[in-house]
């Protein structure tokens, strides 16, 4: 197969490379403040805003009939064909392999062990690049899935090494989750516990309860909650891969989704799934026990449910995410405003999440409020976080007022709500609106680290796996009455 045109390739490759390079910068940011890192984040947020606004205009569906047509139409070829996607992914994973060797992640491993983990991830990325290229050149989708298999194996090998070589990471997140899991077995209220040996927070469980509950089996069955995070990550990756499969509409037009468009979807979804596993900074994400992979998996499950018109899957996965961490709650207005999900489903997800959390509220409303709200609001600014808030503190000796940071968050939220309601964009664009909102919230926060920015990147990656519908690209031609003899 001939290489794709340079312009089409660049249009697909540039966003992928910017995302990967942005995560390489995020890897360097742990635990280090640099103004240039904040500048990079700010520029990337601006580019993401431009992207979602532009794609929102292109994908606008002005009325319910058009939205219905978008769901019934066969998937379009969003990136110009499998050649474009395949070559772009091959180049992206080649870059990922280089970055794993060039950018040293934050780790407690010895230099030798740290390099071994990086070699494993770099080799896995190189194998994925070759597999994507092989899929394009031969037209066989099995090569792409073999590449995803290499990413899964490499990720698992790296995770096993990280967990065994650093059995007690020096971070309050891991200590909190481990001891919360033990407390659940004893019947303790995690919001009334204190954490012994924690290098940070010692008297608060700062997450909503399902973070502790869903990750506790890793501690119960294998001695470490990080094993549960590994399993959850793989489940999220499976959901992303399934986004590339044909839409189960059952309509006669569904046969048209075979061939080139189907191969494009397969490559895009497989590449996105592999990229989540191999993004720069993966060793730190696994070693530290950060909980964002749980949120990624919940949102990927929600996206799969929406894509397959499976309301139960979408609502349950979203409810699990909301019941796990507070900042997913603020995504509910965006999803409620989107006509293809709507207010009723968003309320159902929020209500189900409320039922999940209710036992802990009944047990001790003061404790859960203290741990999940008061502690975070009153938490001191962390001067090594790479945000605009900390940049103002460190470089301008000025602490931005709460009303200003709150206004930035609310303005972004309002823009997202208005845009997704008016334009009714495709699922990928809605995911990118969610990523943009979280990106802005991170930038104006007094503490945001690699893990929060990883979740933003993972939402963008998931959005790349979502096939677009032809009807979402342009509205159907109006039906005209047949011409008469007089005409």
Asked whether residue 155 is domain-assigned, the answer is no
What is Dmax (Cα atoms) for the chain? 89
Asked whether residue 332 is domain-assigned, the answer is yes
Asked whether residue 483 is domain-assigned, the answer is no
Task: Give me the pLDDT at residue 57, please.
Answer: 65
| Cα–chain center distance at 41 | 16
Task: Give me the pLDDT at residue 380, please.
Answer: 87
Query: CA–CA separation, 92 vs 21, rounded Å?
Result: 10
Q: Which residues pair with 75 in a beta bridge?
A: 469
Task: Give me the pLDDT at residue 295, please.
Answer: 97
| H runs (alpha helix) in 279-426 | 282-288, 292-307, 311-322, 332-337, 342-363, 365-369, 375-377, 388-396, 402-423
Query: Which residues of the chain, if any, have pLDDT below 50?
Result: 61-79, 248-258, 470-487
Asked whether residue 272 is domain-assigned, the answer is yes
Q: Which residue shows structure tokens 């995690």?
A: 190
Residue 241: which residues within 8 A CB-CB, separation 6 or more? 148, 269, 270, 273, 465
Query: CA–CA separation, 299 vs 232, rounded Å?
Result: 12
Asked whether residue 283 is domain-assigned, the answer is yes
Tokens of 434: 């969610």
- pLDDT tens per residue across span 177-213: 999 999 999 999 999 999 999 998 889 999 999 999 9
Q: Please give the residue range of the domain that contains residue 59.
A: 32-82+167-250+260-469
Asked whether residue 151 is domain-assigned, the answer is no
Helices 209-222 and 225-242, axial angle in degrees (round to 10): 110
Q: Which residues of 102-130 are buried (b: 16+ CB within 10 A; e: fewer)?
A: ebebbbebeeebbeebbebbbbbbbbbbb
Asked whether residue 90 is domain-assigned, the answer is no
Query: CA–CA separation, 485 vs 151, rounded Å?
Result: 65
Residues 271, 272, 277, 283, Cα dihedral to 10°? 110
How many structural domains does the chain have? 1
Could you give the 3-state DSSP secondary structure of residue 289? coil
Query: CA–CA separation, 299 vs 295, rounded Å?
Result: 6
Task: Give me the pLDDT at residue 4, please.
Answer: 66
Query: CA–CA separation, 132 vs 145, rounded Å?
Result: 9
Task: Give me the pLDDT at residue 144, please.
Answer: 92
Asked whether residue 38 is domain-assigned, the answer is yes
Task: Give me the pLDDT at residue 83, please.
Answer: 86
């Amino acid at each position: 197969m001939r290489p794709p045109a340079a312009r089409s390739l660049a249009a697909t490759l540039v966003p992928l490379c910017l995302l990967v390079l942005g995560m390489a910068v995020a890897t360097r940011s742990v635990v280090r403040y640099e103004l240039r890192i904040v500048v990079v984040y700010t520029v990337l947020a601006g580019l993401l805003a431009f992207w979602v606004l532009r794609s929102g205009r292109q994908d606008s569906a002005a009325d319910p009939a058009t939205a219905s047509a978008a769901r019934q139409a066969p998937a379009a070829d969003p990136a110009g064909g499998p050649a474009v996607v395949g070559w772009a992914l091959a180049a992206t994973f080649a870059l990922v392999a280089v970055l794993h060797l060039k950018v040293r992640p934050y780790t407690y491993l010895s230099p030798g062990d740290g390099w071994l983990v990086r070699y494993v991830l770099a080799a896995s990325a190189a194998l994925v690049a070759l597999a994507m290229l092989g899929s394009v050149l031969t037209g066989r989708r099995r090569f792409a899935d073999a590449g995803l298999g290499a990413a899964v194996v490499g990720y698992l090998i790296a995770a096993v090494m990280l967990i065994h070589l650093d059995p007690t990471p020096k971070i309050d997140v891991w200590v909190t989750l481990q001891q919360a899991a033990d407390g659940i077995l004893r019947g303790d209220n995690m919001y009334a516990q204190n954490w012994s040996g924690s290098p940070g927070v010692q008297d608060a469980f700062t997450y909503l309860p399902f973070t502790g509950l869903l990750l506790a089996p890793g501690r119960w069955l294998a001695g470490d909650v990080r094993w549960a995070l590994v399993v959850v990550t793989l489940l999220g990756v499976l959901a992303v891969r399934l986004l590339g499969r044909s839409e189960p509409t059952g309509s006669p037009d569904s046969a048209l989704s075979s061939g080139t468009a189907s191969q494009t979807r397969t490559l895009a979804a497989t590449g996105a799934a592999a990229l989540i596993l191999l993004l720069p900074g993966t060793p730190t994400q696994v070693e530290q026990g950060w909980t964002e992979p749980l949120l990624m998996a919940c949102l990927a499950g929600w996206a799969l449910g929406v894509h397959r018109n499976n309301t139960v899957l979408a609502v349950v996965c979203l409810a699990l995410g909301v019941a796990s961490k507070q900042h997913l709650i603020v995504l509910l207005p965006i999803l409620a405003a989107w006509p293809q999900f709507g207010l009723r489903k968003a309320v159902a997800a929020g209500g189900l999440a409320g039922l999940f959390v209710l036992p802990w509220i009944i047990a001790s409303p003061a404790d859960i409020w203290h741990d999940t709200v008061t502690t975070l609001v009153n938490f001191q600014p962390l001067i090594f976080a790479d945000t605009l808030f900390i940049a103002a503190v460190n470089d301008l000796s000025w602490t931005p007022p709460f009303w200003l940071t709150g206004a930035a968050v609310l303005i972004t939220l309002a823009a997202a709500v208005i845009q997704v309601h008016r334009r009714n964009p495709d699922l990928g664009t809605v995911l990118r609106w969610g990523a943009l909102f979280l990106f802005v919230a991170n930038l104006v926060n007094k503490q945001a680290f690699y893990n929060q920015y990883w979740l933003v990147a993972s939402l963008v990656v998931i959005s790349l796996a979502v096939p677009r519908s032809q009807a979402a690209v342009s509205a159907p031609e109006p039906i005209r009455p047949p011409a008469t003899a007089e005409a």
